[in-house]
Amino acid sequence: MTTQRQSRRPVDLIAAARRARRRARADFSTFKVGAALETAEGAIVTGCNIENATYGLTVCAERVAMFKAISEGHRAFRRIAIVADTQDPTPPCGACRQILWEFGGDLEVILANLRRVTGRHRLSELLPQPFDARLLK
């Protein structure tokens, strides 16, 4: 099983995202990202970005973590930590924000680099007018 149980401290979640980042396949951009998603039960599911030559088929770390968590049966989430080797905060892209919202709701989003936390947000701050199932009724 790829999920791990750890303490619920944010530093553990960030450390898991940093470890996941090391497994990224960013052969073209060299921009490696790691994500660690905490489930409501306290499990941590990680993901890393995976690129290919077309770029369009690249999958971001945040989506890998969410899809992996869902495929393992998790349905409720608390927060996600996202790590990149940048000085400035590196928030999730639009596609990741949409997926995180649809499957995770108003998650806490912790942004960090290799040394420190660079930002903390609610997903609703990053995606203030989301499109979701409510609009399909």
**Are the C-beta atoms of residues 65 and 36 closer than 8 Å to each other?**
yes
* pTM (two decimals): 0.92
Q: Which of 38, 41, 51, 62 is catalytic?
A: 62
Tens digits of residue pLDDT in 73-128: 999 999 999 999 999 999 999 999 999 999 999 999 999 999 999 999 999 999 99
Residue ranges of E strands in 1-127: 4-5, 33-39, 43-48, 77-84, 108-112, 117-122
The question of whether 62 is a catalytic residue gets the answer yes
Over range 35-43, report the average pLDDT. Answer: 97
Strands 33-39 and 77-84: antiparallel
Question: Residue 105 sits in a domain of what CATH number?
Answer: 3.40.140.10
- What is the extent of the structural domain holding 50? 4-136
